Chain A
Amino acid sequence: MGKQRAQGLERRVKMQKFKLLSFILAFCILPFMLVCYASDIQFEATVDRNKIALGEAFQLNLAFHGTQNVSPPGIDKIEGFEMRYVGPSTMVSIVNGVVTSSITHIYTLIPLKTGIFTIGPFSVDMQGKTLTSKPITIEVVSASSAGQSYSRQQSLDENVTTKINSEELKDRIFLVLSAAKRKVYLNEVIPLTIKLYINRLSVRDIQFPVIETNDFSIEKFGQPRQYREELGGVLYDVIEFTTDMFAIKPGEFSLGPAKLKCNLVVRRQAQRRRTHLDDDFFGGFFNDDIFDNFFGRYDAYPLELKSAEFPITVLPLPEEGKPEGFDGALGDFQLNVTATPLEVKAGDPITLKMTIRGEGNFDSVKSPKLQSKDGFKVYDPQVKQNESEKIFEQVIIPESEKITHIPQISFSFFNTESGQYETLTHQPIPITVFKVDESQTKLIELPQTQVKAVEKEELGRDIIYLKNSPGQFRRIGRYLYKSLSFWCLQVLSFIIFLSVLILHLRQQRLSSDQRYARRLQAPLKAKKSLKEIERLLREKKTEAFFNAVFKTIREYLADRFHLPAGGITADTFEEVAKERGIAQEALEKIKKIFTACDMARYAPGQFNPKQMEAIFQDLKEIIVYLERQKI
């Protein structure tokens, strides 16, 4: 008892300090407080324990959420308890910019006798409204029956590492497994909830709960939710894990137990002998919570929690009334069908978009069915699943222009709420199918980006701007074809052509035709010789003169008539002359020259210059004559 009193004292000192702190805090915050309305305010009464030993103190908290401007409510004396007002505790939290504030008025209650008591309900008048809390049941036991708690306290003190009393822990930390329904159908999706209740314990390293089962398919747990819940008048911190599950086979099963691993944080206290001093000064100081918080050591104590099992009956789907085309879909759904485009050419695709929306096991939802596929080419649907809908996109191609409707589409499911099968149907969709031109049947459907026609560009039209330079000026009407020099050029080039050609031909003849060549050369050679003869005549070299004359006439005649030069005499030439028709007069002259030459060879002195001159003239005349004559 003495020890308990000491504890109470300790707590009182603690509370007073707390009160002081709270006042300072309240004083700081007061100017910022807003006027609140009663409608926003919630009133809640909780105790920290609901099972207490006689003489042990416990805490009653009257919390007002949504305001801080509440004075301690005047509470009547509670029967069977000694009550003292400890002070207010205020709290302001800002979450995502939303400011919430609360004030808790704390009272300490000490039971005076054993038994079961009901505290409250408490009522508070706030701005004309009465707020009422729930009643709280408190069980007060005698000190001996509460010994467990007491002994635990002792053991805590005595051991270095704390031993946890499992009996008491059961009330302070436990796991609850629950499913939404106890009777489910095969494959029906039901939510599964696992709650971890924690009362005034420090717990960390909480792992996700595990349920070992072969009868159910359980999805992964999502992020747990954290909140506070009052259970039997005691306030618990709750961590809630939720997920969906469905049964795999029919029968009666018990789900669970769910297991959860966590670490319990336990304060380790130094083993110290309690002296007298401890109680009044040092003990009161060193045993202080705040002090311990700073200097105390903590141990992590691993804990595996097990929940109770949860019995579930899994019912098979009834055979009765099972519609045709039922594919095992469970839940409650709606069907929506759209088809685009509604006007196509035969052979062009239509996209059917079938959306199934609702609640249930979407894994069991399969594509709705077309009543008949006649006249259509049907492709496998593409499936897209969102949170609360499943979309099937199916391409169908009408094969002829005679088709007027997309057939009825139906979808059957088992409604787990009503326990009935239901069939959703979508009425036939009217479509227009055009006949395909023969020439277009071979066209291949191109992706839309390629089909997109280039917008025709509108170009402006006008004449092009002026020329900056005048270009080549020329006389008006003067054309090259009118120019004399141009024509002269043409004529000249023709003349050149002709002369080159003639020259070439002549040279060719000269080289190939000896008679022609000799005939051509004859007068040229004769001309040269005549000059020589004339020189000899002037120099009066009679012998040389006659030699030259003889040689000249002979060579000329030979060349002219293409004869061997050696064989030419006056007699031999007479025959040739007769053949060629040479005039008698010329022949006479030739004969005369030949005779004169013969005579001069023997008696050159008998010729005077006059006679020589006459012979020379005769020779010239003969040559001129023969050149003129075409023989």
Chain B
Amino acid sequence: MKTKKIRANNIFILFAMFFLSFLKIGLAFNTEQTSAFNRANVYYEQVNYDEAIKEYESILGAGWESGNLYYNLGNCYFKKGQLGMAIFYYEKSKRLIPLDRDLESNYAYACSLIKGQNVSLQRGFLSRVLNNLFGKFTLDGLTVLLSALYILILIAILTGFMFRPFKKQALIIAAAIGVFFIAGFTGLTEKIAILNKEGVVVVAQADARFEPMDKATVYFTLSEGAKVEIISSKDNWYKIKRQDNKIGWIQKSALSIF
């Protein structure tokens, strides 16, 4: 009897913690940041993009971010003519508001303005499926989804044990959810893996060399806005991988990492 009481308490504490953790993330009132954001919007309307950027970045400096903030920053840089920075911020925004139609449109338009290269990424079947399934999720969204799937699996198993006649069905459901869970987990780990491991070229042209040295031979050239994957870094150089899997060394100043 005593153990049951303890369990009830545990459940209550658990839910309280669960909700608190979300409250902590979700319901933050940032009056200071909001007013800075609005100021920046006014600057933008006055075609004063530099001031607008300054205001927006002050919010980032205070340690806060939002999808809309990155989106507006992207717009500012786009209007300023800095395509690389615009794409950089759109990419950052995509991590937070991947379903936003305006963002999608602006991102596609900005990408269409990238000069020269049109290197498309050759991806495997599984990778493509995963990307289609989980590409539209934010990192947190996917985490919550996985958590929900996990709890669902547990519930399914419990149901299977408690109601013996439905044991088979319940276990099948649990297994199916389990497949989703594994896929989602793979997606999540991938997402986490590329955090701060992607970069956008923010200078007009960046040469990727065979070695992390100024005098090394140029392997290929990237134009502003091109997206690369960071493999490692050394001193002032990033070892990057282009979308067609060509690897080269590029100067850190030429890239913005997100």
Instruction: Answer whether A and B are interacting partners.
Output: yes
Q: Within 8 Å of chain B (Cβ to Cβ): is A475? A: yes
Residue in contact with B151 in the complex, picked from A478, A493, A495, CB distance below 8 Å: A493
Most buried by A among B25, B30, B44: B25
* B65 near A476: Cβ-Cβ < 8 Å: yes
Q: Within 8 Å of chain B (Cβ to Cβ): is A488? A: yes
* B102 near A467: Cβ-Cβ < 8 Å: yes
Residue in contact with A481 in the complex, picked from B3, B79, B143, CB distance below 8 Å: B143
* B65 near A485: Cβ-Cβ < 8 Å: no
Q: Number of A-B pairs whose CB atoms are under 8 Å? A: 126
* B14 near A462: Cβ-Cβ < 8 Å: no
Residue in contact with B64 in the complex, picked from A474, A479, A480, A488, CB distance below 8 Å: A474
* A469 near B68: Cβ-Cβ < 8 Å: yes
B58 to chain A, nearest CB (A): 13
Q: Within 8 Å of chain B (Cβ to Cβ): is A29? A: no
A143 CA to B109 CA in the complex, in Å?
A: 118
Q: Which residue of A lies closest to B141 (CB)?
A: A480
Beyond A474-B64, A474-B66, A497-B157, whether A488 also contacts B17 by CB under 8 A is: yes
Across-interface contacts of B10 in A (CB, < 8 A): 492, 495-496
Beyond A467-B68, A473-B65, whether A493 also contacts B21 by CB under 8 A is: no
Most buried by B among A494, A500, A505: A500
| Chain B stretch 35-69: residues in CB contact (< 8 A) with chain A | 37, 41, 44, 59-60, 63-69
A486 CA to B14 CA in the complex, in Å?
A: 10
Residue in contact with B109 in the complex, picked from A461, A470, A472, CB distance below 8 Å: A461
Across-interface contacts of B72 in A (CB, < 8 A): 466-467
Q: Within 8 Å of chain B (Cβ to Cβ): is A499? A: yes
Q: Within 8 Å of chain B (Cβ to Cβ): is A504? A: yes
Across-interface contacts of A466 in B (CB, < 8 A): 41, 44, 71-72, 75
Across-interface contacts of B17 in A (CB, < 8 A): 485, 488-489, 492
For B145-167 the 0/1 string (1 means CB < 8 A from A) is 00100110010011001100000
Across-interface contacts of B147 in A (CB, < 8 A): 486, 489-490
A493 CA to B75 CA in the complex, in Å?
A: 44
A133 to chain B, nearest CB (A): 96
Across-interface contacts of B154 in A (CB, < 8 A): 493-494, 497
A467 CA to B40 CA in the complex, in Å?
A: 11
* A468 near B11: Cβ-Cβ < 8 Å: no
Q: Within 8 Å of chain A (Cβ to Cβ): is B110? A: yes
For A496-535 the 0/1 string (1 means CB < 8 A from B) is 1101110111000000000000000000000000000000
* A463 near B64: Cβ-Cβ < 8 Å: no
Q: Within 8 Å of chain A (Cβ to Cβ): is B20? A: yes
Chain B interface SS verdict (over half) = helix
A497 CA to B161 CA in the complex, in Å?
A: 11
Across-interface contacts of A472 in B (CB, < 8 A): 26, 28, 66-67
* A496 near B14: Cβ-Cβ < 8 Å: yes
A492 CA to B9 CA in the complex, in Å?
A: 12
A505 CA to B157 CA in the complex, in Å?
A: 13
Beyond A466-B72, A470-B33, A497-B158, whether A483 also contacts B21 by CB under 8 A is: yes
Residue in contact with B110 in the complex, picked from A463, A489, A492, A499, CB distance below 8 Å: A463
* B7 near A499: Cβ-Cβ < 8 Å: yes
Q: Which residue of B lies closest to A489 (CB)?
A: B18
Across-interface contacts of A495 in B (CB, < 8 A): 10
Q: Within 8 Å of chain A (Cβ to Cβ): is B78? A: yes
* B7 near A496: Cβ-Cβ < 8 Å: yes
A485 CA to B154 CA in the complex, in Å?
A: 19
Across-interface contacts of A503 in B (CB, < 8 A): 3
A461 to chain B, nearest CB (A): 6
* B14 near A493: Cβ-Cβ < 8 Å: yes
* A476 near B60: Cβ-Cβ < 8 Å: yes
* B102 near A470: Cβ-Cβ < 8 Å: no
| Chain A stretch 559-591: residues in CB contact (< 8 A) with chain B | none
A546 CA to B105 CA in the complex, in Å?
A: 92
* B161 near A501: Cβ-Cβ < 8 Å: yes
B254 to chain A, nearest CB (A): 23
* A480 near B14: Cβ-Cβ < 8 Å: no
* B28 near A474: Cβ-Cβ < 8 Å: yes
* B14 near A492: Cβ-Cβ < 8 Å: yes
Q: Which residue of A lies closest to B69 (CB)?
A: A470
Across-interface contacts of A475 in B (CB, < 8 A): 63-65
Across-interface contacts of B30 in A (CB, < 8 A): 470, 473
For A440-484 the 0/1 string (1 means CB < 8 A from B) is 000000000000000000000111111111111111101111010
A129 to chain B, nearest CB (A): 90
A460 to chain B, nearest CB (A): 11
Q: Within 8 Å of chain A (Cβ to Cβ): is B139? A: yes
Q: Within 8 Å of chain A (Cβ to Cβ): is B228? A: no
Q: Within 8 Å of chain A (Cβ to Cβ): is B194? A: no
Q: Within 8 Å of chain A (Cβ to Cβ): is B176? A: no
* A464 near B150: Cβ-Cβ < 8 Å: no
* A486 near B21: Cβ-Cβ < 8 Å: yes
A473 CA to B192 CA in the complex, in Å?
A: 20
A387 to chain B, nearest CB (A): 65
A365 to chain B, nearest CB (A): 67
Beyond A479-B143, A489-B14, whether A470 also contacts B66 by CB under 8 A is: yes
B71 to chain A, nearest CB (A): 5
A483 CA to B26 CA in the complex, in Å?
A: 13
* B75 near A471: Cβ-Cβ < 8 Å: no
A521 to chain B, nearest CB (A): 14
Beyond A463-B106, A480-B25, A485-B21, whether A504 also contacts B37 by CB under 8 A is: no
Across-interface contacts of B109 in A (CB, < 8 A): 461-463
Q: Which residue of B lies closest to A488 (CB)?
A: B17
Q: Which residue of A lies closest to B37 (CB)?
A: A470
For B162-195 the 0/1 string (1 means CB < 8 A from A) is 1000000000000000000000000010001000
Across-interface contacts of B25 in A (CB, < 8 A): 474, 478, 480, 483
* B21 near A473: Cβ-Cβ < 8 Å: no
* B41 near A471: Cβ-Cβ < 8 Å: no
B135 to chain A, nearest CB (A): 17
Beyond A485-B21, A488-B17, whether A476 also contacts B150 by CB under 8 A is: no
Most buried by A among B37, B59, B60: B37
Q: Which 5 A-B pairs have the closest CB atoms?
A: A471-B68, A467-B68, A485-B21, A470-B37, A464-B102
Which residues on B are within 8 Å of A, measured CB to CB?
Answer: 3, 7, 10-11, 14, 17-18, 20-21, 25-26, 28, 30, 33-34, 37, 41, 44, 59-60, 63-69, 71-72, 75, 78-79, 96-97, 102, 105-106, 109-110, 139-140, 143-144, 147, 150-151, 154, 157-158, 161-162, 188, 192
Q: Jot down 5 A-B pairs with beta carbons below 8 A, ordered by A.
A: A463-B110, A470-B37, A472-B26, A473-B65, A479-B139
Which residues on A are within 8 Å of B, measured CB to CB?
Answer: 461-476, 478-481, 483, 485-486, 488-490, 492-497, 499-501, 503-505
- 12 additional A-B pairs beyond A476-B60, A488-B17, beta carbons within 8 Å, are A463-B109, A465-B75, A470-B66, A472-B26, A475-B64, A476-B64, A481-B139, A481-B143, A481-B192, A490-B150, A497-B158, A500-B7
